[in-house]
Amino acid sequence: MLDLILTVFRYIFLIMLYVFIFQLIRMMFLDLRSGEVMKEAVGKKAAEPLPVEIKPLPGSVAGLVVLSSGDPGLTPGSVFSLMPEDQATLGRSSKNTITMVDPFASMDHAAVYGSDGQYWIEDRGSKNGTFLNDVRIKKPTVLADKDKIRIGDVSMQFLRWAYEVESGNRGGTGKEAKRG
């Protein structure tokens, strides 16, 4: 009698194991299929043109514009204004200035900051890297107008709305010039 019960339990266990493996394989295929659908949707969003007029916040001289993103919180065309002395942090942590829900972004991934009239981007030791114009950066790097920044699936463009130009006369005051 005990042998019969053990045999029945073995068969039940074997059936449950096969059902589990079947469900696991089924979920992997569904996940792969939904990933392909997401890539197609992200590709369509990236093809949409950016808004014609991007309005910076008063006092800001630069900004980051989202070009494409798999993150529903970062829609293409979103603008993050940068103030001259502020630092914008990027990553998955909610403490960051720009929070990314991307598996390839680190908690504290990168920072963009102004210093001596220039804007810099710095990777903060992320595993997957920060890319500037499709080149992985390893040390703080100066940003130029229209540089492209990529962290995981999130792609942004750095825009410089205005900058200060020093006067040729050292005793004079600095003049502001707008560059488009």
| Per-residue pLDDT tens over the stretch 35-85 | 554 555 445 444 444 443 455 555 567 888 889 888 778 888 888 888 777
Q: Give the pLDDT confidence of 127-137 residue by residue, as tens digits.
A: 999 999 999 99
Give me the residues paired with residue 141 across strands: 121
pLDDT at 59: 54
Ranges of each domain in the chain: 1-47, 62-164
Phi (first) and psi of residue 56, to 5 degrees:
-75, 160
Fold of the 62-164 domain: Tumour Suppressor Smad4 (2.60.200)
**Cα dist from 65 to 69, 112, 127, 164, whole Å:** 11, 13, 24, 21
Euclidean distance between CA atoms 18 and 35, whole angstroms: 26
Euclidean distance between CA atoms 113 and 143, whole angstroms: 10
Q: Residue 155's closest CA among 77, 52, 57?
A: 77
Adjacency order of strands within the sheet including 110-115: 98-99, 87-91, 110-115, 118-123, 141-142
Euclidean distance between CA atoms 157 and 49, whole angstroms: 13
Euclidean distance between CA atoms 46 and 30, whole angstroms: 24
Q: Give the pLDDT confidence of 97-111 residue by residue, as tens digits.
A: 888 888 888 899 999
pLDDT at 76: 86
First to last CA, the chain: 88
pTM for this entry = 0.58
